[in-house]
Structure 1
């Protein structure tokens, strides 16, 4: 039979309340008493039940993550980072998958109110001021990853800079006719990454004295197939681009397929650059912009723990770096 908290108390010669305070690292225990209790725990090999620990702490010891379409490689990689960090802690994890704008609104309203979690991480879904009021009114510590709001702690990258880096790379290779394929810039989920990357794309063009062309920017549902369709539309123009910047690696793979279907190759005929640097990008030899997806998940959970410990601390933005990764789908034009 497994030892109980009563057995520990009897062995140490204290009450169960003292044992509980030792287990919860309360400072209100004399050092000699703490040592006796810890020795009794070790001798009896006592392990408190997770349920009892939750009750004693008056916490759920559970973290919630609200994430969109978590079959997307970039979201999966961020979740892997969160999960790895949670696994090293005493917390459990619940993931809420957002597939529609209505589901987003439901989770934003209901999850903080249910009290099933101690803290919340939101990936890529920028909350409105009204959303944040719900979180605050519910007393729910919340951290954003790949999303912004000045009232919340957040882990972000500079997607404007990433878009500028991608486009500047193509310009330096001699390309002036550069297409951009992305998710819809205005969308009901309030995603901001494609819009910010587009701003960086335009900035780089304008700084180089190149006028952005509206027919070189196509928007559509995120995914390999839709990106292939959009790339085909660009390639079929009377004056097609010589390079295409895709707002994600998944979309860049669609661009590469569109090229193959037309008997074209990257980078000989059209240069291609993606964004994210997911694992498959290396295998495909894709030039891309790397953002630290896994690290953002790790750092997001660390920031949530800090928020739980210091809820009154002024919110901060932890900005992670982006960098160009040159592989085999871009090269100087005419070479």
Structure 2
């Protein structure tokens, strides 16, 4: 089996980015390091791909972007940030939507963007070790949003910290019965953002001495309709929550809609907090955890430009901060549960049955994984 750039990097004890630069004769590589890389490449009989050499010169003028969804607000915002930077630098964007698990698997089997792009940006994809190595083996700069991949540039937010801030805000307002609308996707690829935020929710409850109750979690699939159904499910409980943390603003919008249809109000009956600071959040007066979504796209694109120009020799990592934005949908706990009319009790969605046998088990270290949504 022929040696790869990963094998050379391991032998020379440097990053794949340094190997690529050293073999192409690019600047910002010391002579000692370059000699070590050349010696490792010779020992392994490794020859740099002529296609990779041409791509490094920027001849295609195209940057590939791989993402799991094109119809979700979050990804459209990230793309807008990427596109703004690339257009300002006369670079084109080639989009590849993986769509579902089958397309995901086929992409990594065929690697269709090989030889077609100067660099690659990957948005919040759960990746196996083999898939991560396949990206690096393309021998072009790769920037990844969310999941950390050795040898690749990286941008993320601290999902655990953001969710922790949200739940602590509700506890500080006196709430003890706090529901959560999760982003559980039911996707076999194993997106971990919902898991990280859910773990943070449970951890904060434990820190506050609040018992965890599985029935207070309802899946919302990062959508408005699903968020509305999840809130209906929570309101149908014999002892409903006085506050709800939704893992995204879109799910929070659905939750607020359900409250309105039930003749209830936030925060008088139920406090609601979201996550994202969607442009509609201010219009609906939603308390939320703000993250700069488009800015994350800009940062990814700038990392790629630095890598292509030689300004960034080694992959860099940026963690974008989140912040609590308090508006009008959260307030002090006043009652044991929301007031509902006996004539019009909230009806749970058809798919709102509790998790069979309790919530899904989580590996204890999953909260350290930065993720996709």
Instruction: Tell me which moved more, 79-88 or 55-64.
Output: 55-64
TM (norm. structure 1) is 0.79
In structure 1, what is the equivalent of residue 157 of structure 2?
157
Unmatched segments (≥5 aa) in structure 2: 1-25, 28-53, 336-373
In structure 2, what is the equivalent of residue 325 of structure 1?
325
Cα distance between partner residues in 1 of 2:159 and 2:283: 24
Instruction: Tell me which moved more, 109-118 or 296-305.
Output: 109-118
Contact 2:58 / 2:308 at 8 angstroms: preserved in 1? no
Q: Helix, strand or coil: the match of 2:179?
A: strand
Aligned counterparts, 1:240-251, within 5 A: 240-251=240-251
Cα distance between partner residues in 2 of 1:133 and 1:118: 18
In structure 1, what is the equivalent of residue 138 of structure 2?
138
Aligned counterparts, 1:280-319, within 5 A: 280-310=280-310, 313-319=313-319
Q: Helix, strand or coil: the match of 1:281?
A: coil
Per-residue deviation at 1:256?
A: 0.7
Cα 1:113–1:82 change in 2 (3 A) is closer
Aligned counterparts, 1:110-121, within 5 A: 110-111=110-111, 114-121=114-121
Query: Cα deviations across residues 97-116 of structure 1 (Å, max 9, x unaligned)?
Result: 23211122233443465311
Per-residue deviation at 1:308?
A: 2.8
Per-residue deviation at 1:155?
A: 0.2
Cα 1:80–1:58 change in 2 (3 A) is closer
Query: Cα deviations across residues 28-63 of structure 1 (Å, max 9, x unaligned)?
Result: xxxxxxxxxxxxxxxxxxxxxxxxxx9995621100
Cα distance between partner residues in 2 of 1:58 and 1:323: 38
Per-residue deviation at 1:329?
A: 0.5
Cα distance between partner residues in 2 of 1:185 and 1:169: 26
Aligned counterparts, 1:45-84, within 5 A: 57=57, 59-84=59-84
Contact 1:83 / 1:93 at 8 angstroms: preserved in 2? yes
In structure 1, what is the equivalent of residue 93 of structure 2?
93
Larger-gyration structure (1/2)? 1
Contact 1:185 / 1:192 at 8 angstroms: preserved in 2? no
Contact 1:145 / 1:154 at 8 angstroms: preserved in 2? yes
In structure 2, what is the equivalent of residue 127 of structure 1?
127
Cα distance between partner residues in 2 of 1:290 and 1:126: 23
Aligned residues: 284
Q: Helix, strand or coil: the match of 1:60?
A: coil
Contact 2:291 / 2:323 at 8 angstroms: preserved in 1? yes
Contact 1:271 / 1:330 at 8 angstroms: preserved in 2? yes
Cα distance between partner residues in 2 of 1:209 and 1:185: 29
Query: Does residue 229 of structure 2 align to residue 232 of structure 1?
Result: no
In structure 2, what is the equivalent of residue 183 of structure 1?
183
Per-residue deviation at 1:65?
A: 0.7
Cα distance between partner residues in 2 of 1:56 and 1:122: 18
Cα distance between partner residues in 1 of 2:226 and 2:311: 43
Greater RCO structure (CA 8 Å; 6+ sep) = 2
In structure 2, what is the equivalent of residue 12 of structure 1?
none
Query: Cα deviations across residues 281-325 of structure 1 (Å, max 9, x unaligned)?
Result: 111111100011011000001112223345994433210100001
Cα 1:306–1:267 change in 2 (3 A) is same
In structure 2, what is the equivalent of residue 278 of structure 1?
278
Instruction: Tell me which moved more, 148-157 or 86-95.
Output: 148-157
Cα 1:191–1:311 change in 2 (3 A) is farther
Cα 1:187–1:58 change in 2 (3 A) is closer
Instruction: Give me the CA root mean square deviation.
Output: 2.4
Cα 1:55–1:98 change in 2 (3 A) is closer
